[in-house]
Amino acid sequence: MVPRRQRGGTGRKRIDTARLIQDPAARQVAFSKRRNTLFNMAGDISALCGVHTAVVVFSSSARGNCYAFGSPSVDAVLQRLDGAAPPAVEEEEDAAATLMALRKELEDTKARVEAEKARIKAVEAGVKQAMVAARTPMWWEADVNALGAAELPEFEAALCRLRDAVVRHADSLHAADQNGASFTATTGRVDEALHADHTLFSISTTSGHG
């Protein structure tokens, strides 16, 4: 029998590389991400193993905001820690069911948000193609015949917002004219408004012609 060869090395070891993040902005981003991960892990172990969990975290900001997660609740876990009687089984089951429902609602909301982001991104891509077809850097001059059923309603809504902005500033121009304001000043405000409305679709107006 051929003897088994032993692998080199000393086996699997855990290397602790955790270090305090020095940059405050990067530290806050890491805290937000890992806090949610920590709460999700606490919720998972509670749901899978039928145990009570509580996690309390204080941020390192000047305000020291407190974030907490508990199953069935932070108060229930703290009461047990103080020696109080645990809640009835029915209360635990109701709390667990409520927690699961809330988590499902949160996941569904996240999915809807991501779907809406993807839809808006696709609409903007369609408008960009219509701008190329019309050989214009201005989104409101895009070729409407190149827009599909998904883009047209959003395009119409954006045009309405632009129209309302023009009407508001035309009224402002008229009022300023009656009050004796200079033509240069009022015209400048209208130009600024139109420039601001270039971004109604979040599309750069500096794209080249097709």
The whole-number pLDDT of residue 198 equals 47
Residue percentage of the chain with pLDDT more than 70: 70
Whether pLDDT at 195 is above 70:
no
- Locus of tokens 């229930």: 76
In angstroms, the CA 57 to CA 191 distance is 49
Q: Is the pLDDT of residue 207 over 60?
A: no
Beta carbons within 10 angstroms of residue 43's beta carbon: 19
Answer yes or no: are the C-beta atoms of 32 and 57 closer than 8 Å: no
Rounded-to-integer distance, Cα 126 and Cα 128, Å: 5
Question: Where is pLDDT greater, at 75 or 55?
Answer: 55
Q: What is the mean pLDDT of the chain?
A: 75
Average pLDDT (87-94) is 61
Most confident of 4-8, 76-80, 112-116, 185-189: 112-116
Does the structure show a pLDDT above 60 at 66?
A: yes
Tell me the C-alpha distance between 201 and 8, whole Å. 60
End-to-end CA distance of the chain: 74
Question: Of residues 76 and 160, which shows the higher confidence score?
Answer: 160
